[in-house]
Amino acid sequence: MSLIEIIKYGTPSLQERSVPVEEINNEIRQLAADMGESMYTNKGVGLAAPQVARNIRLFVLDTEQVTHDRRNLQVFINPEILDESVEDGPYTEGCLSIPNIEGEVFRPLRVKVRAFNEHGEEFVLEADDLLARVIQHEYDHLDGVLFIDRMSKERRALLAGQLNALRRETEASLAAAK
């Protein structure tokens, strides 16, 4: 199993809308497994395909792996948010593509999502707490939306220097790789 690289803020494709997965085949299953490995290695709770430079509607998550010894990777392919609670709440989020930056984001506390798993089986999940939070964060990635886009203007202004530095660093490494 290969460890795929997670791309960072400043990569244009990270902020583009992804297209649906056309066929759930071995290549997609391998991608999901590889994304899981990268996620666990980097101690994340979720990872979306655009974060590994694949602009397709797929993400993986595991909100129960805080200790990393019990792995239960959940794969979401072509997910759709069917319903969300009116009630929302704050939580301090981070993102593997935006290292060392955190910020409070308000989101609905509960969501109902429909998706396909890596075996092509459709499922519907009603989620709350951290799971609802991570589903929405990863789902946003599929639309090119980052958690920093949902922070308050004040918080974003405070982080502007750090974000610009990260963007420049990413742009420089992209230019060097050409």
* Of residues 24 and 136, the one with the C-beta less far from Zn ion: 136
- Of the residues 138, 154, 169, 171, only one is catalytic, namely 138
- The stretch among 14-22, 83-91, 92-100, 158-166 that binds Zn ion (CB under 5 A) is 92-100
* Of residues 60 and 95, the one with the C-beta less far from Zn ion: 95
Q: Which of 95, 113, 131, 134 binds Zn ion (CB under 5 A)?
A: 95
138 labelled catalytic: yes
Q: How far is the CB of 110 from Zn ion (least distance, A)?
A: 20
- The CA-to-CA distance between both ends of the chain, in Å, stands at 27
Q: How far is the CB of 23 from Zn ion (least distance, A)?
A: 26
Contacts with Zn ion by CB under 5 A: the residue count is: 1
Q: How far is the CB of 150 from Zn ion (least distance, A)?
A: 11
Q: How far is the CB of 119 from Zn ion (least distance, A)?
A: 25
Phi, psi of 143 (to 5 degrees): -105, 10
* CB closest to Zn ion, residue no: 95
**Site residues (vs Zn ion, CB under 5 A):** 95
What residues are labeled active site? Answer: 138
